Structure 1
Amino acid sequence: MDVQQPIAILDSGVGGLTVAKEIMRQLPHEKIVYFGDTARTPYGTRAADEVVQFTREIVEYLAQYDPKMIVIACNTATAFALEDIKKHVNVPVVGVIHPGARAAIGRTNTGIIGVIGTDGTIKSGAYELALKQLNPHIHVISKACPTFVPLVERGNFRSDETFDTVSAALGSLRDYPMDCMILGCTHYPFLAETIGEVMGPEVVLISSAEETAREISTILYEQDKRANIETTPIHQFFCSGQPAMFRVIAKQWLGKQIELTPVVWQVSQMG
């Protein structure tokens, strides 16, 4: 395997950019090929078999770039499709749920952890299972927040509408003595400032992006697949829907990371 092959990242839309940014920061010599399924987002309200089918289609599309690793940077797709994809490819496949759970276990003092996510992720029970595998005494408070992803996909991160939407969704969680909350959807870090205002400073917000990037780095190191040429990679970003908003959000979120590396923006012809 040529270690200069890219890391493929897929998401239901722009949420996986939170993971891409962290990979670019921690592994600056690795090339990224990113696919955001903006035409079919959100995944959280879809049936499990539909999410599996969509994930398979994206993985098949990304296969043409011969990736050395696949990162499912969508919590819903991780919950429903991770094991399926592992059976169909011969490269490492990384999801975002177990890294997020590990990060939360390391931060909680009270043993009471909040988890917010899409309907699909919360109904799957994937985070509760992952957390209790690490510590069976953890108490998990879960809440589906289906109104958050549409805000992010429209680029509406900070507004009165955003605050009102987040407050309405999370108000009931303030009654619980949790000390950390997992942002169980990779879209949610875009709303972290508002979520933090609603939940208060005593609740630490956990994004899986940093821990996921660490896991990717560990796997590449153990398998001797790290990029071995210290050159600037050219990343490729694809989306299945209208590219204008996707590009605006990507440039805004990636900030300095995207300024440091050339990027090719393309609209997928998949489907």
Structure 2
Amino acid sequence: MDQPIGVIDSGVGGLTVATELMRQLPKEQLIYLGDTLRCPYGPRPKEEVIQYTMEMVNFLLKKNIKLLVIACNTATAFTLDLLRETLDIPVIGVIQPGARAAIKVTQQMRIGVIGTEGTIVSKAYPEALHSVHSDIEVYDLACPRFVPMVENGVLEGDEAYQVVKETLQPLKEKQLIDTLILGCTHYPLLKDTIQAVMGNDVTIISSGEETAREVSAILGYQELLYEGERLPEHAFYTTGSWQVFAHIASQWLEIPITTLETAYLTTA
């Protein structure tokens, strides 16, 4: 079916999911919207996250998307069920795929989750993990400094390392876990630094690969895959600074961006 896949995020973090979608579904066209103007969503009240997410969804519905990926953990935690009830297209979040990926690799059944304040308070990851395996021990930690750092393009170096080290000290010092879920799609951009802090004994999990696999399966099952021969022309929208957005996309994720426009969101 020659309709695009819609991807939304609070900022640039969802590009990590978009990258994996492009890799696994090279024929599919993506329309990506990052709400960088109002990022981060993590500290915001639930009602505000729902409102902002609905504004992004309404914007993409006008683009005739065939499937929606909520590439934001906070938005997934607060709006996934609502959107699945109200939309007539498939809606995929990033929490369940991330939880499944972690369960596949953990050896000691002790899994850490780092995310925004909103994601951690929602307890969406512990619920997702325990719904699959009730005996898993979950240690979660909010990391409010990570998203602003990523949105400002601070992805490596002394400053990034120091912030990550200080933030993750509660998980690191007790050697509690063997697997760590990056419960925010911004965090894979800090993966190398997080791995350096946590050590090689901890397996780092991001949800992009598993999310893309789920999207592929659903599109195939519902016969929505594009089966033509044209090369996709992806479109990217941001509500804020396109310079930082474009830099991270091209330099760090090697996403070729030919169309990048400003999105003006409304409630209807």
Same fold (TM over 0.5): yes
- In structure 2, the residue matched to 1:211 is 210
- Of 151, 161, 164, which residue of structure 1 is paired with 2:162? 164
Count of residues paired in the alignment: 265
SS of the aligned residue for 1:263 comes to coil
SS of the aligned residue for 1:115 comes to strand
CA–CA distance in structure 1, aligned partners of residues 98 and 231 of structure 2: 29
CA–CA distance in structure 2, aligned partners of residues 9 and 176 of structure 1: 36
The question of whether the paired residues in 2 share the 8 Å contact of 1:112 and 1:140 is answered with yes
CA–CA distance in structure 2, aligned partners of residues 229 and 120 of structure 1: 41
CA–CA distance in structure 2, aligned partners of residues 263 and 9 of structure 1: 17
- In structure 2, the residue matched to 1:179 is 178
CA–CA distance in structure 1, aligned partners of residues 96 and 194 of structure 2: 22
- In structure 2, the residue matched to 1:59 is 57
Following TM superposition, by how much is the alpha carbon of 1:132 offset from its aligned partner in structure 2, in angstroms?
A: 0.3
- In structure 1, the residue matched to 2:14 is 16
SS of the aligned residue for 1:65 comes to coil
- The range that moved more, 115-124 or 81-90, is 81-90
CA–CA distance in structure 2, aligned partners of residues 14 and 7 of structure 1: 17
Q: CA RMSD in A?
A: 0.9
**Is the counterpart of residue 251 in structure 1 residue 247 in structure 2?**
no
Equivalent position amino acid for 1:263 in 2 = T
- Of 67, 78, 81, which residue of structure 2 is paired with 1:83? 81
Equivalent position amino acid for 1:76 in 2 = T
Equivalent position amino acid for 1:220 in 2 = L
Q: Matches of residues 147-158 of structure 1 in structure 2 within 5 Å? A: 147-158=145-156
- In structure 2, the residue matched to 1:229 is 228
CA–CA distance in structure 1, aligned partners of residues 13 and 241 of structure 2: 16
TM-score normalized with structure 2 length: 0.97
Following TM superposition, by how much is the alpha carbon of 1:29 offset from its aligned partner in structure 2, in angstroms?
A: 0.3
Equivalent position amino acid for 1:124 in 2 = S
SS of the aligned residue for 1:237 comes to strand
The question of whether the paired residues in 2 share the 8 Å contact of 1:128 and 1:140 is answered with yes
- In structure 1, the residue matched to 2:126 is 128
For residues 119-169 of structure 1, give each alpha carbon's deviation from its aligned partner in whole angstroms, at most 9, with x where no partner exists: 000000000000000000000000000000011001100021111100000
Equivalent position amino acid for 1:193 in 2 = D
Equivalent position amino acid for 1:162 in 2 = A
**What is the aligned-residue identity percentage?**
50
CA–CA distance in structure 1, aligned partners of residues 88 and 170 of structure 2: 44
The question of whether the paired residues in 2 share the 8 Å contact of 1:100 and 1:206 is answered with yes
CA–CA distance in structure 2, aligned partners of residues 154 and 141 of structure 1: 28
CA–CA distance in structure 2, aligned partners of residues 215 and 106 of structure 1: 15
- Of 262, 265, 268, which residue of structure 1 is paired with 2:260? 265
Following TM superposition, by how much is the alpha carbon of 1:31 offset from its aligned partner in structure 2, in angstroms?
A: 0.2
SS of the aligned residue for 1:28 comes to coil
The question of whether the paired residues in 2 share the 8 Å contact of 1:116 and 1:183 is answered with yes
TM-score normalized with structure 1 length: 0.96
- In structure 2, the residue matched to 1:139 is 137
SS of the aligned residue for 2:260 comes to strand
Following TM superposition, by how much is the alpha carbon of 1:230 offset from its aligned partner in structure 2, in angstroms?
A: 2.4
Following TM superposition, by how much is the alpha carbon of 1:87 offset from its aligned partner in structure 2, in angstroms?
A: 2.0
Following TM superposition, by how much is the alpha carbon of 1:89 offset from its aligned partner in structure 2, in angstroms?
A: 1.2
CA–CA distance in structure 2, aligned partners of residues 144 and 121 of structure 1: 8
- The range that moved more, 225-234 or 211-220, is 225-234
CA–CA distance in structure 2, aligned partners of residues 177 and 141 of structure 1: 8
The question of whether the paired residues in 2 share the 8 Å contact of 1:17 and 1:253 is answered with no
CA–CA distance in structure 1, aligned partners of residues 234 and 111 of structure 2: 36
Q: 5+ unaligned residues in a row in structure 1: which ranges?
A: none
SS of the aligned residue for 1:60 comes to helix
